[in-house]
Structure 1
Amino acid sequence: MQKGQITKALSGFYYVTDETKTIYQTRARGVFRNQNLTPLVGDYVEFESDNVQEGLIQKLLERKNELSRPPVANVDVGIIVMAATDPAFSTQLLDRFLVMLEAKHIIPYIVVTKMDLLTEAEKQLILSYQSDYQTIGYQMMLMEEAEDDRSEQLETLFKDRFSNQLLVFIGQSGAGKSTLLNVIDPSLELKVGETSRSLGRGKHTTRHVELIKVFDSLIADTPGFSALSFDEIEKEELSEYFPEMWDRRAECKFSGCLHVNEPKCAVKKAVSEGDIPEYRYADYVLFFEEIQNRKPRYKRKGESS
C-alpha cells in the first residue's frame, strides 16, 4: 500500500502526490460513497497503483479539518486579504473570517492591501486596527501597491513563516487576492478582476481544485471562500473563537457565561475598561444573535454530524 496526498481533483479523478513527488492518477473506491465520504484535495490517503495512470484510493487518513467552499482538507493557514479601501475595510467581515478559521483550527494571517490609497487619517485608523488585532494575537501585514515591495514582503513571508504549510487565500471581493497570488508566482497568470480560465474556475467550467507549490508551501488554487454563515457553530462555543474573550472566561461569575446578559461578566467589564475593542464585542453579539435566530437545520438520513 502506498501513501500520498491528493493535490488535484478533476472530473472524478484524484491526483495523488507521494513523498518522491511522483503524481498518480487515481479513482476512489465505491465504498466511500456508501460511507458518505468524499475524498478532498489535501487529504492524505493510502492507495494502490501499478502505474502512474491507474490507481485506486483505498483509505482516507484522518483529517484535522475540512472546508466545503473551497473543498479542501488539512488546511494549516488561512490568509485573509482585506482592502484598506475600495472596497471599504470592514472589521465585521474580518471578524467573520477569523471566527470561521478559528472554528476549523486554521491559523489566520491578515493582509491589508491598498494602504497607499489612504489619507493620513484613514491610515491611522488602519494602524489602530493593526494594533488591536496584534494585541489579541493575530499577525496583520499592511501592504502598498508597489510591485517590488510586495514581492519582497511576500517572498519573505512564504519562505520564513509558511514553509511546508497548506494555505488558502480568503477575503472580500476586490481586495486583491488574485493580484497577490500573481506577485507570489507570476506563472499562475491569474486574471485580476475576473475568473481564471486557466485554473478551471467559472460558471461553465469543470469543478477543479488543485494545490499549487509556491516556494515550499502548497496553496489551494481557489481563492474564493464563501462559507460565511455560522451553520456549524453553536452559541455556547462562539466565545472560543474570540481569543481575548476565551482567555477571560474563568473570571466571569458564572462558569457558562455567554457574555451577553449575565451579571459580573469579565468580558463586558473588559469592554467597558477598553481592554477589548467595542467593535469586536459588537461583532460577537451580532454573530451570537445570528446563531440564536437561525432556522434549525435537520440532517438528512445517513449524514454525519
Structure 2
Amino acid sequence: MTLRLVAAPPSFSLFTCRATASTASTALPPPTPTPTPASSTPPSLPLTCALHCPHFQSCSGCTHEFNLHRPVILDDATDFFRKHGVSDFTFDTCKLWGWRCRAKLAVRGSSTEPLIGLYEEGTHNIVDIPQCKAHHPNINAAVELLRQGITELGVGPYIEDEGTGDLRYVQMAVTTHNTSLPAAERYMNGKVQITLVWNSRNENSPGSDKLNALANFLWKNGGPRSRVHLIHSVWANFQTSTNNIIFGNRWRHLLGERDFWEHVGGIDVSLAPSCFGQANTR
C-alpha cells in the first residue's frame, strides 16, 4: 500500500466587509466579475465581493454568489429598522471565505473515485466539492486526506439504493480555540475533528477492520506526528437506518483528543461530535 502525504493546507487572507444603511441603499450595481481559476486564492476584496467558487452552479450549499457584503435581505432589514427608528443599522459579514468550521458531507461514488460533498438541490446526486470556498481550508485538506484513505484502503462509499457500502457520511469540525497560540493565529491553525459515519451497527460488526484502518490512515498522515498536523481526533458513528437521518445513536472515540474546545459567549465549552454547533464560530 502506498501512502501519500497530504499537502499543506492552503492559506488565504480573511476579509470582512461592513455595510451601513446608507451604502446599502445607494451602492452602484457591481461590475462584471473577472473569472478566476478554481485553484487560485480569492483576490484582495474584489469590488463585487464574489464567492469565486467553482462548485457554485451545481452545489446546493451556497445561494449567494456576488456582493457577499450586500445580501438581498440587507435592504429589507435596513427598511425594517428604519421604520422602527433605527437609522444607524450596520451589517458585518465577518469572513467572506473559509468561514464554515463545521460540515456534514455525504460520501458516495466508488472506492476508486469517491465523491465527498453535498446533494445537488432537489436530488440525491452528490456534488463533489473539493475546492469549497466556504469551508475552512483545513476542512478541504482533511477531505482530500480522507479521499486518499478511501482509495488506498478500498473503503466502499455508501450505495443508497442497495443499503450497502462502508462509509455513509463524514462530519468535519474545526476547533479554533488553541490557547497555546496567539489569538491571531488560532483560526488558520485550527485542527479538524473527523467523524466517520459507518454503515454498521457497532464497532464489532463486519467491516470494522476497514474502519480502524481508515482511522489509523487519517491519524498517521494528519496527526501530530505527521508532516502537517491537521487532525484533532477521529470518531465513529454507527448508522444502518435507510432514512435520511445522518447520525445513529452509537458513537465511539477512536483516536486523538476527546475534548473539542470552543470559546462561546465568553466561556470555554467542550463539544462532543454529537452536539450541535454553529458553522460560523464567530
TM-score by length of 2: 0.25
The structure where helix makes up a greater share of residues is 1
TM-score by length of 1: 0.24
Over alpha carbons, which structure has the higher Rg? 1
